[in-house]
């Protein structure tokens, strides 16, 4: 099949007007299958089809179909996580800026699908040669956060939505909020030890936002099977018999650990290896399983998937923070609907220690 020779905006305009694909097909006197193929760029419509769609949507044909842009690099803003990276990147349009994030990351092992290649960089900006149609890239949604279950959203989204991709950047709660405040993400996923800590963090956004519950999960100490060192509580971190792996500064887990140390009257300077950190729940679990550490804070679901024992500390809410200005952005609206997707809820419910009773609920 040859590549379509026009850029199609039918789906985006239809969704802005709140019209279903079936209703558009009825109004235009076309089959739903034909409308679907046009929206997905599988075919270039005939003149009569284009006129029928424009009439049904009360717009002009040029509003719906345009010539493809010349093959030139996109000018992008580089995520702070790119550092000195060059090569494959993933892209999302946040506001008026294209944001580039690295393909490689702790959220996935091996190589992943790229949206483009970073061919030049100038400070925090650069040029990217795109590898996907720009119209498709405009439907990408960029989520920053550390919950491993965001990978389920990313993977299921591909099978249930023809347009765009979920681009997930694994960042700590504080880093995710900073990315959101800087306009480098559509949504920030966060978890904090308590509601007061979350509200304090939200004040740093400087903009009105909606807080949507993603899930609740059990968080606690991950240790080797059988607990051979007899680890019991945070006080044991000050002993020399366990190797502790901490989380990065600003993460929800780090805030929880520091709060537990303070409550127990243990100074962080008394904890060997306090400054040794990992960036994700799975990085911590992998270090314990491979014998490079003895104890770390993480999720019950991660501990069990890595054949580790788990000592619960508290139940934690993981929330999605969405600026109110983005609620009308079609991919964001689709993601909120997706939180009620039956297959997604079934998979999330199947994770040990996850609670989904409030998933998709606006909590603030």
Which letter does DSSP use for residue 108 in this model?
B
99 by DSSP, 3-state: which? strand
Measured CA to CA, the distance from residue 342 to residue 360 in angstroms comes to 12
Q: CA-based diameter of the chain, in Å?
A: 78
Q: What length is written for the chain?
A: 364
* CA 1, chain centre distance (Å): 32
Q: How would residue 160 be classed by pLDDT, with cut points 50, 70 and 90?
A: confident
- Measured in degrees and rounded to the nearest 5, phi and psi for residue 76 equal -130, 160
Residues 94-150: tens digit of each pLDDT: 989 999 998 865 455 556 789 999 988 888 899 999 988 888 899 999 999 999 999
Can you read off the two tokens belonging to residue 143?
């989520």
- Tell me the Ramachandran region of residue 29: left when phi exceeds 0, alpha when psi lies from -120 to 50, beta otherwise: left
Contact status, residue 332 vs residue 220, Cβ threshold 8 Å: no
Residues 205-246: tens digit of each pLDDT: 888 999 999 999 999 999 999 999 999 999 999 988 999 999
Q: Which residue has the tokens 């760029």?
A: 41
Measured CA to CA, the distance from residue 89 to residue 140 in angstroms comes to 13
Q: How far is CA 111 from CA 107, 132, 283, 302, in A?
A: 11, 17, 17, 22
Q: How far is CA 34 from CA 5, 48, 49, 221, in A?
A: 17, 13, 9, 54
Can you read off the two tokens belonging to residue 250?
């600003």
Can you read off the two tokens belonging to residue 68?
């493809």
* Rg from Cα positions in the chain: 23
Measured CA to CA, the distance from residue 43 to residue 81 in angstroms comes to 38
CB contact set of 132 (below 8 Å; sequence gap of 6+): 115, 116
Task: From 176, 180, 173, select the one nearest 256 (Cα to Cα).
Answer: 173
Can you read off the two tokens belonging to residue 93?
């349009």
Q: How would residue 338 be classed by pLDDT, with cut points 50, 70 and 90?
A: very high
Q: How confident is the model over 275-294, as a mean pLDDT?
A: 94
So what's the pLDDT on residue 265?
Answer: 95
Q: How far is CA 145 from CA 26, 90, 152, 169, in A?
A: 41, 16, 13, 7
Residues 286-302: tens digit of each pLDDT: 999 999 999 999 999 99
So what's the pLDDT on residue 111?
Answer: 63
What share of the chain in percent tops pLDDT 90? Answer: 65
Q: How confident is the model over 52-57, as a mean pLDDT?
A: 93
So what's the pLDDT on residue 69?
Answer: 56
Q: What angle do CA 331, 333, 334 make, to 5 degrees?
A: 65
So what's the pLDDT on residue 162?
Answer: 62
- Measured in degrees and rounded to the nearest 5, phi and psi for residue 104 equal -75, 140
So what's the pLDDT on residue 30?
Answer: 93
So what's the pLDDT on residue 68?
Answer: 63
pTM: 0.79
So what's the pLDDT on residue 145?
Answer: 94
So what's the pLDDT on residue 16?
Answer: 80
Q: How confident is the model over 49-65, as a mean pLDDT?
A: 90
Q: How far is CA 323 from CA 199, 298, 301, in A?
A: 15, 28, 29
Measured CA to CA, the distance from residue 237 to residue 231 in angstroms comes to 8
């Amino acid at each position: 099949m040859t590549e379509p020779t026009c850029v199609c905006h039918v789906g985006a305009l239809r969704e802005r007007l709140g019209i279903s694909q079936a209703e558009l097909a009825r109004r235009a006197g076309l089959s739903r299958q034909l409308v679907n193929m046009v929206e997905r760029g599988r075919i270039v419509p005939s003149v009569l089809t284009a006129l029928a769609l424009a009439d049904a949507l009360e717009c002009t044909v040029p509003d719906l179909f345009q010539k493809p842009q010349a093959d030139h690099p996109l000018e992008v803003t580089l995520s702070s996580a790119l550092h000195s990276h060059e090569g494959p990147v993933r892209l999302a349009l946040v506001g008026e800026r294209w944001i580039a994030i690295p393909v490689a990351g702790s959220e996935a092992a091996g190589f992943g699908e790229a949206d483009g290649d970073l061919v030049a960089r100038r400070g925090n900006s650069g040029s990217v040669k795109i590898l996907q149609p720009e119209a498709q890239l405009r439907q990408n949604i960029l989520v920053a956060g550390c919950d491993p279950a965001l990978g389920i959203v990313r993977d299921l989204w591909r099978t249930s939505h023809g347009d765009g991709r979920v681009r997930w950047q694994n960042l700590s709660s504080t880093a995710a909020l900073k990315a959101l405040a800087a306009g480098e993400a559509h949504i920030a996923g966060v978890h904090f030890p308590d509601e007061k800590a979350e509200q304090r963090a939200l004040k740093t956004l400087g903009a009105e936002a909606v807080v949507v519950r993603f899930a609740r999960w059990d968080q606690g100490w991950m240790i080797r099977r059988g607990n051979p060192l007899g680890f019991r509580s945070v006080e044991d971190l000050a002993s020399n018999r366990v190797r502790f792996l901490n989380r990065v500064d600003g993460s929800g887990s780090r805030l929880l650990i520091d709060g537990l140390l303070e409550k127990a009257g243990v100074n962080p300077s008394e904890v060997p290896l306090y400054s040794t950190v990992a960036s994700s729940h799975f990085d911590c679990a992998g270090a314990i399983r491979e014998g490079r550490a003895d104890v770390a804070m993480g999720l019950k679901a991660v501990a069990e998937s890595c054949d580790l024992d788990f000592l619960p500390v508290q139940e934690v809410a993981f929330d999605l923070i969405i600026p109110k200005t983005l609620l009308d952005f079609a991919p964001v609206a689709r993601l909120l609907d997706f939180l009620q997707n039956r297959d997604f809820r079934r998979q999330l419910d199947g994770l040990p220690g996850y609670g989904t009773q409030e998933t998709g609920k606006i909590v603030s």
